[in-house]
Amino acid sequence: MLRRVKLMNPFEIVQDRIAPDRPQPQPVEPKVVNRTARATPVCAACGSDDIICHATAQWSNEAQEWQLANTFNQPARCNTCHSDCNLVWLTLN
């Protein structure tokens, strides 16, 4: 039996916190939290927003848009300081 699952952006996945004394009848699926404020990732070293990340996108018939499918567990790369970078998320006005 095939199960249809909506594609999710892994940057928006938040795991539920479950109390250890509470029995778990079924595995908990990650929930998607839509960010209310707009934000942009920048390089933690130089502050540039010229960031790339190798990823795969998959078309969603339900949402009618390309959605992030996988980032291959690779670091983001800054095109300004030419290094692998940690990301800092800045809120946009």
The pLDDT of residue 11: 52
Q: Residue 53 domain-assigned?
A: yes
Domain that holds residue 14: 10-91
Q: What is the mean pLDDT of the chain?
A: 75
Q: Residue 5 domain-assigned?
A: no
pTM for the whole structure: 0.50
Give how many domains the chain has, as a whole number. 1
Q: Residue 4 domain-assigned?
A: no
The pLDDT of residue 74: 84
- The 3 state secondary structure assigned to the chain is CCCCCCCCCHHHEECCCCCCCCCCCCCCCCEECCCCCCEEEEECCCCCCCEECCCEEEEECCCCEEEEEECCCCCEEECCCCEEECEEEEECC
Q: What is the average pLDDT across 5-13?
A: 51
